[in-house]
Amino acid sequence: MLVSVAADKRNPSSWSARVPGGAWKSTTFAVKNTGDRPERVTLAPATYVTDSSRTIVKTITLTDETDHGTVQDFTVPSGTDFVQVRYTWPSGSDVSIRTAVCDSVGNFVTYAPTYGGYGHLSMDQISWGGPADQRPVVKRGAPWQVAIFPHASMTPTGPQRVNLRVEFLHKTRWSAPSLSSSTVRLQPRRSASVGVSVRAPRAAGTYFGGVAVGNGATTTTVPVAIRVPVTITGKRGAFSGKITGSTAECYGGEFHFYDFTVPRGTKSVAASVAWQHEGNLVNMYLVDPDGHVRDAKGGDLWAADYAAGEVPLAAFTHTAEQVIWKAPQPGKWQVLLWAPGFAGDSFAEPYSGTITLDGGSVSPAEWAVEAAPGEAVTTDFTVSNRGPTALSAYATSQMTLGGVARFDNVMLEPYAGVLEPTPENFASAGSFTLPQEVALVTASATWDQPGTLVDLGLFDPTGTDTAGSLAATGRSPRPASIAACMSWSPAAPATSAA
């Protein structure tokens, strides 16, 4: 039996539908009988739901007396199809807590390793699928066990508070999809098409489920994701979600995507996000229709520059971020939230955000005046910050001649000093803030050490190398050049020049 989805020719094994809140979208599933006998194939939308009345929540303190470890018993209720064990803790990046789960007869079921960092989450997930002789055992009167213990080289130095949550889920019908038929009968080597429609929830975000397709002998599930963009009403939209932690190391984290549409003629776009508690790391990116990051803010944008991945303490004091872009191109934009750090004091940190079009941060928006030769004219402009964080404001002049914008050349303070090489032969010379509407960025370097090659790289706030230079020596023992130069146009896709 083969199942394919018509909506995406590049990925026919799943369906990702972008649907406005409350609207419908449709595709077809092609089902083929690859066997030599007639088949009766059933299709059923399915998802997992948590039985919240049976969820186990505990707060535990690990101490030196038990080598910062513990074993907790729990009973799996009847009707469970999926068990999820989540474990969070507050600490620095040098503490790693791990878990392992055993079933009713002591069989090792799963193991959740962590390797430090700021995700502060360990998670075990157990499903009842697979061959019958390999499924976990649930025996009446015999509990399951979860062992909690630290990484041998990343042990807490004192009492360590931890939060344990055990959830029991069961499979149920997913109400979002609608099928044109739930059963098809197929002769050998024959195919049939089944219409599938989904109705999107009202709230912006991404929702997951699937359609289980089975022929009695085997069952496969087609994953379905529903992406609901932010609805902009009166030039304003809202989104919300939760940060729940990450099992990855220092440079991992969780990602949340929110799409929205910018109409033609829009003069500015701004987005902000806020959460209640300190101790979390949330980075915010504003992405244009071409996939370019136009603005980025956060406490951890340059984590790779920190020694051993240690993030400065000031980064954890942020409880809001905002991004802004002037004269955005029309089309589908995206707000991306990357949360590389989770406080670990609870199981989730809720956040809420807004998207505003034409916020009017500068007034008046236009100023037209006639001036006689040699006459000076003046006016006052007001800059308003309507977001939740501080912004740096700047002013520059621009002349238009014959309908073509002429740009001023702005020289930043030069960097000077001695570059100390790293094991990777990489050194950061400095950083700078790039204003909007910049037409071209050029960086150059000179050095006075014969026989030394220095290459330049220009990195944007996401850490992407947008331009570079390459010095060459030829065959001479003395470099052909002791200077290098590179340029990049922010208004176009990243290019490099030597």
User: pLDDT at residue 319 above 90?
Assistant: yes
- The percentage of the chain sitting over the pLDDT mark of 90, rounded to a whole number, equals 57
* E-only strand ranges, 187-235: 191-199, 205-214, 219-228
**Same domain flag for 205 and 134:** no
Domain count for the chain: 4
Residue matched to tokens 């829009």: 266
In a domain, 384, yes or no: no
Q: For residues 418 and 111, what is the distance between their CA atoms, to the nearest angstrom?
A: 48
pLDDT of residue 133: 82
Q: For residues 80 and 63, what is the distance between their CA atoms, to the nearest angstrom?
A: 33
Please give the single-letter amino acid code of residue 179: L
- Count CB atoms within 10 A of the CB of residue 37: 9
pLDDT of residue 492: 46
pLDDT in tens, 381-431: 888 888 899 887 777 666 666 666 666 677 777 777 777 766 666 666 677
pLDDT of residue 97: 93
In a domain, 379, yes or no: no
**Same domain flag for 81 and 103:** yes
**Same domain flag for 155 and 68:** yes
Q: For residues 94 and 152, what is the distance between their CA atoms, to the nearest angstrom?
A: 11
**Same domain flag for 212 and 258:** no
pLDDT of residue 330: 96
Residue matched to tokens 């066997």: 35
At residue 208, φ and ψ (nearest 5 deg) are: -125, 145
- Count CB atoms within 10 A of the CB of residue 215: 19
Q: For residues 263 and 270, what is the distance between their CA atoms, to the nearest angstrom?
A: 14
Confidence (pTM): 0.80
Residue 246 near residue 338 (C-beta atoms within 8 A): no
Do the strands 254-262 and 293-297 form a parallel or antiparallel pair, or are they unpaired? unpaired
Lowest mean pLDDT among 151-155, 349-353, 365-369: 365-369
CATH of the domain at 197: 2.60.40.10
- Count CB atoms within 10 A of the CB of residue 98: 21
pLDDT of residue 490: 67
**Same domain flag for 258 and 123:** no
**Same domain flag for 336 and 196:** no
The CA–CA distances, whole Å, from 192 to 46, 88, 196, 309, 431 equal 21, 47, 13, 54, 59
Considering 331, 360, 389, which residue would you say is the last residue of a domain? 360
Q: For residues 29 and 197, what is the distance between their CA atoms, to the nearest angstrom?
A: 10
pLDDT band of residue 480 (cuts 50, 70, 90) is very low
Residue 256 near residue 336 (C-beta atoms within 8 A): yes
Q: Give the domain range for residue 317.
A: 236-360
**Same domain flag for 65 and 150:** yes
Please name the helix (run of DSSP H) or strand (run of DSSP E) that holds residue 18, with its range, or none. strand 15-18
Q: For residues 223 and 314, what is the distance between their CA atoms, to the nearest angstrom?
A: 41
Q: For residues 114 and 95, what is the distance between their CA atoms, to the nearest angstrom?
A: 9
Q: For residues 316 and 298, what is the distance between their CA atoms, to the nearest angstrom?
A: 10
Considering 330, 360, 390, which residue would you say is the last residue of a domain? 360
In a domain, 365, yes or no: no
Joined together, the tokens standing for residue 247 give: 């099992």
In a domain, 388, yes or no: no
b/e per residue 318-329 (b: at least 16 CB within 10 A): bbbbbbbbbebe
Joined together, the tokens standing for residue 296 give: 């980025």
- Count CB atoms within 10 A of the CB of residue 390: 8
